[in-house]
Structure 1
Amino acid sequence: MTHEATTLASWTRALRKQLDVLGLDSEQLCAQAGFEPGALDDPNGRCPLSATTRLWQLAVEASGDPALGLKTSQFVSPTTFHALGYALIASCSMREMFERTVRYYRVVSDAMELELRECADCYEFRFLTVPGNLAPAPEALDAFAAIYVRSCRNRLGRDFAPLAVYLQRPEPADPEPWHAVFRAPLVFSAAENLLRFAKPEFEQQLEDGNPELAEHNEVVLKRNLEQLQGPHWVRKVRARLQAQLPEGEPSAERIAQALHMSLRSLQRHLADEGTSYEAVLAETRHALALQHIREANCSISEIAYLLGFSDVSSFSRAFKRWTGQAPSQYRETLKND
């Protein structure tokens, strides 16, 4: 049975506050979305992603406002994310803040996989939908992006703006609200959801950081994470592999770094789930190969590239190990079925 992603009830309560401000019946909309009465009253409760996504859809329909997510972000405070919120505001740099977000966000929600990547002259913060799970509503992703840009402004000043914002959502009829919030180059219908930040601002030490407070809240977060921890490391590695394979086969060290852990810890987690990095890499490539081979407009060489192989022959050999047929033969068989 597939585990359905969940989010903290306190996150959904922010949307209810926005609806109440608009004069809409948030209680009725929650009932329509499938929430049990009183389900959002417990701030420590967790809500299924299907109900939360449905509520966003109903909220946009009732308000007639496609930019509802951007506005809802204003109702999110540190207490919304519990101990994580306090650990973030106590962080001593923006880099530290986002690294904590990546490490502990599962306490808030397991609907997304987060990644902070250091590039030559910037940092890239990705929020990826989990393969096989229902995708969060576009408005929820708008809110998520806006929350973290606002968090940067709270620490660095009102004039702060990211270098660029990429959103997978289609471009709205009126993109002005998004430009007004992000104040940065904005790309809609992007391949992935991504915020790009300048390195100097991310690495500078913040005078209001409080390491002791951050560490205290990390103790709580680690305990919460242990309670939620299930056999999900394979899923996390697969998500990172899918994002990084087009750039070439990533090493286990690189995936461990993306997950903000040591290689040894990653190997131990996978071993606990009865597998290894090499096995997960092969399984992920195999699954993606079978998916892409069915796409008539995707050439064999393109598939090899998307799966991170150095050349077509390497991909062909691997594909034959998996299926007993060369990629072109397998594709021909599909046409005859």
Structure 2
Amino acid sequence: MGMGMEPRISAAAACGVGGVIGQCGGDAERVFGAARLRLSALENPSIRLNLNHYCHLFEVAARQTGADDFGLRFGFQYQVEQMGPLGALVLASPTLGAALHNLCAHFPALQEHSALRLRAGGGLMALEYQITDGRITHRRQDAELSIAIFTGIFRRCIGPSWAPTEVQFEHLRAADALAVEAAFNAPVYYAAGRNAILFPAAVLTMRMPGANTPRLPGLEATLRRLAADTVPEDFRGQVLSLIRSGFASGEANIDHVAARLGLSRTGLYRRLALEGADFSELTQSIRRELAESYAAQPGIAFTDLALLLGYSELSAFSRAFTRWTGLSPARYRQACQKLHA
């Protein structure tokens, strides 16, 4: 993860994952160990886990069980009540719109260095989710499980057959894309620059079935206390996140990143120098980490990966990848498949 304070997530967010690993034929203790977490930690949902390790947990679970859609399976089994005070606040809200606004407002109490926003645009509403710490590279399973959990909130209010207008993911299309569309019963788009559920604004007025407005002030006070103990955003992580999101759009250069942070080019250089970091080195490190992560996943086209990382031609990406790893992308994928077989 590099320097800086590492973001955390409430252990409540992993409630029940051991059982899902077992259902998929995996060894929960082994998966947790590989992610540098303890299965026993989930016995106390009030403690906070390292967010990077949490994300890695679901990537390891998918590999070990062979369930490429592991995060999605977990997300659709997860119950809102398992979120603790935040889940209780969502369910006690008077309408779906209020529930989503409360979820977004108090999400930092559950998960740090992450953004959850409700936005209008193009005639639809979008519930957008993204980890904002660019040091966390492996996040596909987390994105899918999170969007599945949020979809569950809509279905608790509207009914189990509810389907969004469309779903978007920031990661590339993987081998199980048809299973993902079937789970959401909606079109799913990849490399979208965000993770989001798109839906008609009219549903926001629907009543939550467990509305209990007298409980809201007490739950909000509890969540404000929890949020007060959160780790502040890390500058290096913010820079890496902007570089990562800017590859495909051509906005990963220092001028664009500095502008997004409200700094001059010189100011950004100075801030990074104080942390012993260099912009060019950060750019290459996140590009390489993403390349290795995606190249290891079967079903992802190398042409899509090259475009995501800002290469106009597959040949240029292949040369860079071979320089980094000593293997072509295809041979690297084969080696990873053998290792995890």
Partner of 1:204: 206
* Per-residue Cα deviation, 1:236-266 (whole angstroms, up to 9, x for no partner): 99999999xx9xxxxxxxxxxxxxxxxxxxx
Return the match for 1:95 from 94, 97, 107. Answer: 97
Return the match for 1:69 from 68, 71, 76. Answer: 71
Letter in 2 for 1:202: L
Mapped pair 1:25 → 2:6:
no
Letter in 1 for 2:6: E
Mapped pair 1:145 → 2:156:
no
CA spacing shift, 1:215–1:237, aligned 2, 3 Å: farther
Partner of 1:281: 262
| Percent identity for Structure 1 against Structure 2 | 19
Matches of 1:3 and 1:106 in 2, distance apart? 15
CA spacing shift, 1:73–1:61, aligned 2, 3 Å: same
3-state DSSP class of the match of 2:43? coil
CA spacing shift, 1:53–1:94, aligned 2, 3 Å: same
Task: Kindly indicate whether the alpha-carbon contact (under 8 Å) linking 1:129 and 1:136 is maintained by their aligned counterparts in 2.
Answer: no
Task: Kindly indicate whether the alpha-carbon contact (under 8 Å) linking 1:17 and 1:75 is maintained by their aligned counterparts in 2.
Answer: no
Matches of 2:154 and 2:114 in 1, distance apart? 21
CA spacing shift, 1:236–1:195, aligned 2, 3 Å: farther
Partner of 1:298: none
* Per-residue Cα deviation, 1:95-117 (whole angstroms, up to 9, x for no partner): 21111111111111114211111
3-state DSSP class of the match of 2:93? coil
Shift of 1:145: 0.3
CA spacing shift, 1:207–1:134, aligned 2, 3 Å: closer
Partner of 2:294: none
Paired residue total: 260
Task: Kindly indicate whether the alpha-carbon contact (under 8 Å) linking 2:134 and 2:240 is maintained by their aligned counterparts in 1.
Answer: no
Letter in 2 for 1:66: D
3-state DSSP class of the match of 2:118? strand
3-state DSSP class of the match of 2:108? helix
Shift of 1:93: 1.8
Shift of 1:149: 0.9
Mapped pair 1:186 → 2:188:
yes
3-state DSSP class of the match of 2:228? helix
TM-score (norm 2): 0.66
CA spacing shift, 1:18–1:207, aligned 2, 3 Å: closer
1:295-310 map, 5 Å: none
CA spacing shift, 1:239–1:183, aligned 2, 3 Å: farther
Matches of 2:152 and 2:136 in 1, distance apart? 27
Partner of 2:287: none
Matches of 2:158 and 2:122 in 1, distance apart? 22
Task: Kindly indicate whether the alpha-carbon contact (under 8 Å) linking 2:169 and 2:196 is maintained by their aligned counterparts in 1.
Answer: yes
TM-score (norm 1): 0.67
Letter in 1 for 2:4: T
CA spacing shift, 1:205–1:280, aligned 2, 3 Å: same
CA spacing shift, 1:131–1:23, aligned 2, 3 Å: closer
CA spacing shift, 1:285–1:46, aligned 2, 3 Å: farther
Matches of 2:99 and 2:127 in 1, distance apart? 12
CA spacing shift, 1:192–1:25, aligned 2, 3 Å: same
Which of the pair has the greater relative contact order for Cα pairs under 8 Å at 6+ separation? Answer: 2
CA spacing shift, 1:121–1:224, aligned 2, 3 Å: same
3-state DSSP class of the match of 2:263? helix
3-state DSSP class of the match of 1:189? coil
* Per-residue Cα deviation, 1:8-57 (whole angstroms, up to 9, x for no partner): 11222332220122342201221122124633322111111232232222
Partner of 1:215: 217
Shift of 1:181: 1.5
Partner of 2:274: none
4+ aligned runs moved over 6 Å, structure 1: 233-243
Partner of 1:83: 85
Letter in 2 for 1:39: A
Partner of 1:273: none
Shift of 1:90: 1.2
Matches of 1:110 and 1:36 in 2, distance apart? 20
3-state DSSP class of the match of 2:211? coil
